[in-house]
Every structure is written in structure tokens, then in C-alpha cells.
Structure 1
Amino acid sequence: MNTVAPATLPAGGNYIIVSQVESNRVVYFTDNPEYRPPMNGRWYWVGTYVGILPSAMTLRNCWAWRFNGQVFSGTAEEPVPALETSSLDGEKASLLRALSEKIESVRAPFMPSCLFGELARREKLKEARDYLARAKGRVPEEEKFELLEAVAVARGCAMWQAARLIVIKAEETERVVKESERFREKMNQAIAAAGNQATLLELRERLLEASFPGLSTRFESDADRMEPVNHQGVLGEVHRRHEMSRLKAQLRETINRKRRLNHSDYIGNDELVRHKALLARSLLENGGKPREREDYSILESYAVARGLPLAKAAVLLASAVGANWERLTSTERIKDTILARIDAITTLGDIDDIEEMIAVI
């Protein structure tokens, strides 16, 4: 690298000038014709200059000069901020980051977890408010409450309970956003206006220790503020139909969950199990001995795989089939009983009773 001051370089020399692309600031210069900068840099531009360099420009201060490919122009040195000012700015930036993190931590539990979650929430809230209003007869009836019904089925609660849950959650979310935003605006302005380290330290303590825990405490949900519900009041027809639909879906999911123990993912398994059961019954009815002209090979395979005599394998298989059949018939009896109760509901009390019946299946 050539470290000779430009003023001592030959007049009218040939120079290679390296300058910054965006600002034209000179970052290096040399009269060495062999100089080759790295070719993978994108932030600098390399040009040539024939002539006399500015006498005041050196390798130490060339950053204060600009070169547009033809002419050099000097720039004033950018003022270095005072230590106190620089420290304050850094502390303010740190506090603003901490403030953002705190606000986000309060709001995070109320944020949607999926894409288009805000849209889904708005639709749920609309259905919930419409449902509660229609239940009181304040607006015309309407059939569709698909999202509300999905919430009720998933949570195993009544439609009116799901509607109130959605409304309360929306109100709580709105309250959190408003209170946290008021707090954020107030702290943001206080941080920006702070003029010394003592004030910033006080704000930091307030942010991390005093103000924020109090803010979080005020966000706790008050679920007891719901209006009393008359569980013996007669349901409106729309309300009744929606509750019937929800309860039937809840019953179906519960029954299917119990019966899933009988189900196998193997194709044709049901036919094979029935055939094995018939063979086992035939064997046991014949005193545990195979009948003539009866193919027991599939039952024999079952017995060999378990290391059992054929008769004991037949007993084991018959017992398993009997347990499965008992599960099917018992759940069918329960299903018929509860479906009849669902078709006859007239009050919220009826709904509560049916939900208890489903819960103990």
C-alpha cells in the first residue's frame, strides 16, 4: 500500500481511486498500477484518475472526500456525538426494546395462532353476538351458526355458553389492547423526553419492576360477570334446533371414541374376525374338536401364533369378539336413549342433564 502523502506524488500522475458506491466517499487511492481490489465487493466502485490529487487529501482523511469519477470535493467531518448524548441514545433504544418486549408478552396470549385467525375471530364474534341477540328475540331468526357450533362441540358446552365465551374473550382482548397501548404510549413519550441517566434509570425501574406487573394483573379475566341464566326457561325454536345439532354431534364423537377400540385399520379385518368367530363357535359347540369338512386353518394360525391349543385359542377369540359385541350393543343402547332425550329438550336444564349423560359414557 502506498502511504506517501498525495502532495509528494508526481504531478499529473495516474491514480486508482476506490470509492463507496452510494455516497462517492473515497476509501482508498494509490498510484500503484499493480493494485487490484477484491472483485466480489458490491459496496465500492473502482475508477482511475489522471491529474493532481487534492493536496489536503491523505489516506488518513480520504473518507472526508468524494469522487464522482472526474472531480474531488471535500466534505466537513461529521461531528462526533458527545459521550453523554451517545450513552443516552443507547439507553433509550434499549428501554424502547424492553417496552416492546413487555407489551408483546402481554398481548401474545390473545393473538391468533393461525393464518387468517383475525378473520375467523371476527366471524365467530359476529355469530356469537347474533346468536345471543336472536335468543332474546331482538333480531330476525337465522339458521347458520357454523363457527359457533364448532366452538360449542369442541368445548363440550352449550351454544349460549360458547357464544358468551367468545364475547367475553373478545372484550378481554380489546381491554388488553387498549390498556397496553395507553401504557406503551405513555412510556414511549417519557423515554423520548428523558434528558439524563437518572430519569432513564427511574423509567427502567418503573418498566421492569413497578408498572408492568400491575398492568398484567389488571388484565385477568373476570368470568363471573355473566348475567344469571334461567335454566328452566323454555328455549326458542332456533336455539333449540342448534342445541340439538350440537348435542348430537357431541354424542356421535363420544360414541365413536368408545367404539374405536373395535376398529382396525387393516382392510377386510371385519370379515376375517367374523369368520374366525364362526369357526371358534363351531369348534366350541363341538366340544373343542374340529368338525369334519370344516377348514380351521385360519383359526389354527391364530392359535399357533399365540402358542395355544386350538380349543383355548377359540375361547380367547370368542371372548374378545364377545367383548367387542357387548361394547357395540351397550353404546347403541346409550345412543338410542340419549338421542331420544335430545329430541325432547325444552330448557337449558335439559341440555345440562344430557351433557352430564354424555360425559359419563
Structure 2
Amino acid sequence: MKINVEATPYAERCFLTKNRTALIWPFINVPKQAGPYELFLDTNAFSKISWIDELPDEIRNQATFNPWPALMEQWLSNSELHLNPVKWIEDTLAPLAAKGVRFRENYAKEQAKLLKNNEAQLKTQWSLLFPYVAIMKVMVQKKITPADALADLEALVRADVPRFTGNLMLMALIALLKSQQTLKFANDEKPAYSYLESFLAFQPGKKDESDRINLPYLRNRSGDLSLWYTLPTLLQKGYKTIGEPIIVTGDKALHRVIFRALPPVAHESGRTAFTISPFELSQSMQTNILELATSVQIRSSTTVKERAGQMGTLFEIAKSYCTFSEEKDALDEGWHEWCCPGFGKDFVFD
């Protein structure tokens, strides 16, 4: 993976198939190169695989397929997978195998073991996003000026909570785009805000969602949003990609707005961060988001107990945004049943 100093325009980091599945080179300073490639598949890319037929030969012939993001999402949302995980994974891999995709021997067994041994840790990883998802949803619903929304975010930054700068930048982007709902990114047919509004919309009757914030809603949106964090998190934990990493997703909010406007940045050290693309937003919007991001004070090392306390505070702040008691209850459930059990636990790889 060749890391550049210069930013790469999104058109050079994204390949869109005819069925609207996107292959994204996620890091703004890592342009598309000559391969080989490691493709990280979300659930849609894993289950609806016609996009593979549209891959250019130079990618398909050098690609390693990694469905870990999809398997993780299925493990946390699909109870059928728990009944016989090895068989479920093998059956789901079969259509890929029919298209010539090869996985190492015992791959399904290895992945099932990883999922089972790390369920608590995976739930914690996802639930770290629950408070942000709840706040974003309220921001979309609530009638509020961009200035007031940014002031609320500045108050959040000053609170004794974890510093997830990427999420703060995304919330600032939502606030600013909400005031410019006709703004379209270059060569896009729809306004940028419409993708985010649709992403955060309730889907009653789908995946156990209702018309209010509940645990399935928090789980589903956090699962989608976690794809944005997947590669930065893996690299920071020392994961070595098999060539150039590529995210494969059909989620429009991710590939039309989030990866485009707020991409991660790679560093030789393995450390990653999120930044603002210089190609998509006006200078004033970039400045507003950057001012919020740079106001975040990075703390020195803290204990697991201290970090858990900060996370608990963030859940309480998110509850204060909610109107209905059942929404507050959903956040309480997310905190006690999803976040706490695996908090501070390392992933188990053997």
C-alpha cells in the first residue's frame, strides 16, 4: 500500500459498477495502484454478487475477497447464523466459489470460531457508535439552525466523553448539509444531504425496526457506519492487508457522501485519522468542520474504568437528545447489554 502526501480525488478512488456497487480505495492519500487487492465486503456485496462479473480483469485476477465485515454484521444481527455457523458460512460462500473465488481450507470454521470467541468484543465495538447514531437521528429530525447544531456539538466536545473525531466531523457535516439540502457533489444526481437523511430514516418492519429509535435501529445503522471504521481500526491493530485494501459496498450514504467527503488518512506508522476532502465541500464548510475537529483535546492514556465512565457519560448525553422513554430505554439496553460486557477486552485470535 503506497502512501502519498497528496490527496487523491474521489473519482480516482472509486469504481462504480452498473448495479451501483462501489469499490472504494478508502484512504484519501492511497491512490489506486497496480494491485494485488484485498476486497472487504459488506453484507450487500457478500449476498448480491453480480458486481463480481463487472470487475475489470486487472482487479478480479489479483483480488483476495475478505467478507469479515459482512460476517461480523450477520453474526450480530442474524440469529440463524448462530444455529450452525460453519454450515451457514460455507453455504453463503458457495455462490462466490461458483464465480471462481477461492478461500483457504477451513476458512468457514476459522471465521465461525473468531465470531464466537469475540462476540462480546464485537458488540462493544459496534455499540460505541450507538450514541452518535442516536444524536445524528435527532439532528435530522429536529428543527435547528446550523449554528445551534454546531454549538451543541461544541458542548459535546467539551464533555468528558470519548474522542471519536470522525463521528464529530460527520455530525457537523450533517448539520451543515441540512441547511443546504440542494447541494450536490460533482457528477452526482442527488443532493448529498438526501443520502444521509435516507441512511438515518426509520425502516419500520425491516430488521425489527419501528418508527422510533430502538436497539435494532441502533444496531443496524452502527453496523453500516462501522464499515467506515473497519480498515482504520484493523490497521491500527496491526493488520497487514494483502495488497491494496478496497471497501465494497452498495450503501449510498457511505459511497456517495461519507467516504467521499470524510475519508480516512493512512500513515506509515499504522495510525489512522479522518480528514475533510478538499474536493467536495466549500471552504466555509471545511472550516466549520475543521474547527470542531481541532477543538477536540486528545487525552493522555486512561484506564479501562475511566474510559468506560466516559462512554457511559456519552450514552447519557445521547439519551438527553431523545424525546421518548422507549428511545432512552434502547440506549440503556445498548449500554448495559452490548457495550459493557466486552469493554476493555482484547480480541481473541486462537
TM-score by length of 1: 0.22
Name which structure has the greater RCO, CA cutoff 8 Å, separation 6+.
Answer: 2
TM-score by length of 2: 0.22
Choose between structure 1 and 2: higher helix proportion.
1
